[in-house]
Amino acid sequence: MEPYLELHAHYIGKSHLQNGLACEDYSATYSDESVSVVVISDGHGDKNCFRSAKGAQLACEIAIHACRQFQSITSHIDYINHCDFESLVLSLESDIADTWKENVLSDAQDHPFTNDELLTASDQAQEAYRNGLRLEKAYGCTLIFAMSTKAYWLAVQIGDGKCVAAYKDGVFVEPVPTDENCLGNHSTSLCNSNAKDSFRHYYSNIKPCAVFVSSDGVEESFDQAGLYNCFYSIAYWIKEAGIEEAKGKLSDLLPQISEGGSGDDVSLATMVSQTDLIGKPRSSLEQVYEKVDACANAERQYKVQLANIQDRITEKRKDEQTTAKEIIDIEHKLAELKAHHEQLEQEISNLQKSAETAEDAVKRASEQMERAEKYRVSAETFWHPVLKKLSLYAEKKQENDTEAETVADQNPQPAQPSEPRVIEEKLPATEESTQEISDAAVSQKTRNESILSAHDEKATSKQIEETSKMADIEDSAQKKKKRFWFNKN
């Protein structure tokens, strides 16, 4: 017989840990000089199958015992094509189904269902179980096993899961036919009344380099390529590191598969040739066709995506051109606004300077106003008595002139030269220089004195004195004006 190395492991799933459930998967291997056997069983997670973990364990033990017996029966066969091997396999499957049912019913009789167990089941199942009907359903599970002898190898399966055979050239195949009744959470089972008819199998004289059987918890955690690569890695560990180290690696791997994948219980068993090397998994024709179709679909999608992107680029370019024109208009307007802003800043600066000048002028005017007010008070203090005196003088002179005219009318006199008229010139009220005001006052006084001395030799000394006083008063007034305009300027 071709020597094989066997390895198996099963682990509780992440979801079972979270829900406080036990592991319902089981795995086992057997090997001697005549036969190698690998087997896994997946107990149903249905609430009516509350003893499925026990059913899975019994299924694996029964399968190994049946395979050993089958090898003894077929030990004389060198070529399976020379006999009715198919009938032998069908008989093997029937024996396993019958033996499993006998064992689970015996377990139910030896260990009756407890009230706690029954309460987890549906009302319909409880009623059936209490009446002793369909007790094997509480132990429901799947089964996959493979065996190899010196003349042939055989794989048998009921329910879901995977059986994969690997060959030297890297070809990985799933030789056992698929079951159309295994969809989603529905699966054929050893607990079904027609279990004998639900088995599928494969056998051949050409033995593989390795065989892998695993539960759906492993299968559903990978795509096909990932699953095959996982199996290849396990075979590589066994060949290169040995069984013990590979067992440790597999025990670490299964929890990661469940946690990162299906979350279900996981179980796996494998036999690996001690002499032949396994090639890395090749892509099957189906995988190649799938990849080609995927590439074609991707190409079509990318073309559509490219066309959409190009349309969007065209739209964006139009928007970009419009935006560029708007930017140019805004830049021109901004330049105009900047120029206007600079002009306003210059005008504000000029106005600020004018305001400063006006503030200085207001300040000076206020100071001059204060001085003018003081001068007004001083002038009023000086002029009021003078003007009052002058007013009296004018009235008295008018009376004298009137009286003189009356006397003249009464006593006509020879014509006399007219009295020379003293010319009084009013100083201009506008602002003139101090020297011009002083010269005008002196000139006025001189003219008045000359006129009086030349034409009024007959005037009395009193009239001369009064004229002189008036000249002095005018001179004093001019001097005061001089000081006022001097201080103002």
CATH number for the domain spanning 261: value is 3.60.40.10
Residues 102 and 183 in one domain: yes
Name the average pLDDT for the chain. Answer: 84
Residues 377 and 474 in one domain: no
Residue 328 lies in a domain: yes
Residues 112 and 20 in one domain: yes
Residues 345 and 446 in one domain: no
Residue 250 lies in a domain: yes
Residues 181 and 287 in one domain: no
- Tell me the C-alpha distance between 447 and 466, whole Å: 16
Residue 455 lies in a domain: yes
Domain limits at 103?
Answer: 4-281
Residue 399 lies in a domain: no
Is-contact 417 455, C-beta < 8 A? yes
pLDDT band at 384 (very low <50, low <70, confident <90, very high): confident
Instruction: Give the DSSP letter of residue 148.
Output: E
Stretch 74-90: mean pLDDT, rounded?
89
- The number of folded domains in the chain is 3
Q: Do the strands 162-166 and 210-214 form a parallel or antiparallel pair, or are they unpaired?
A: antiparallel
Is-contact 104 139, C-beta < 8 A? yes
Residue 408 lies in a domain: no
Share of the chain above pLDDT 90, in %: 58
Dihedral of the alpha carbons of 454, 459, 461, 465, in degrees to the nearest 10: -70
Residues 62 and 125 in one domain: yes
Residue 413 lies in a domain: no
Instruction: Give the residue among 94, 104, 177 at the shortest CA–CA distance from 137.
Output: 104
The model's pLDDT over 15-52, given as tens digits with 9 standing for 90+, comes to 888 888 899 999 999 999 999 999 999 999 899 999 99
The model's pLDDT over 310-338, given as tens digits with 9 standing for 90+, comes to 999 999 999 999 999 999 999 999 999 99
Strands (E), 274-326: none
Which residue, 227, 249, 281, sits at the end of a domain? 281
Residues 225 and 91 in one domain: yes
- Tell me the C-alpha distance between 313 and 299, whole Å: 20
Q: What pLDDT, on the 0 to 100 scale, is given for residue 426?
A: 40
pLDDT band at 124 (very low <50, low <70, confident <90, very high): very high
Is-contact 44 141, C-beta < 8 A? yes
Q: What pLDDT, on the 0 to 100 scale, is given for residue 284?
A: 64
Q: Is the pLDDT of residue 87 over 60?
A: yes
The model's pLDDT over 92-112, given as tens digits with 9 standing for 90+, comes to 999 999 999 999 999 999 999
Residues 271 and 341 in one domain: no
Residues 356 and 465 in one domain: no
Place of tokens 């009356």: 406
Residues 256 and 140 in one domain: yes
- Tell me the C-alpha distance between 428 and 446, whole Å: 19
Residues 277 and 323 in one domain: no
Which residue, 217, 249, 281, sits at the end of a domain? 281
* pTM across the whole model: 0.61
Instruction: Give the DSSP letter of residue 178.
Output: P
Residues 199 and 137 in one domain: yes
Which residue, 246, 281, 316, sits at the end of a domain? 281
The model's pLDDT over 143-179, given as tens digits with 9 standing for 90+, comes to 999 999 999 999 999 999 999 999 988 899 999 999 9
Q: In this structure, what token pair is assigned to residue 323?
A: 């935006």
Task: Identify the bridge partners of residue 186 per DSSP, sorted by sequence position.
Answer: 183
Residue 131 lies in a domain: yes
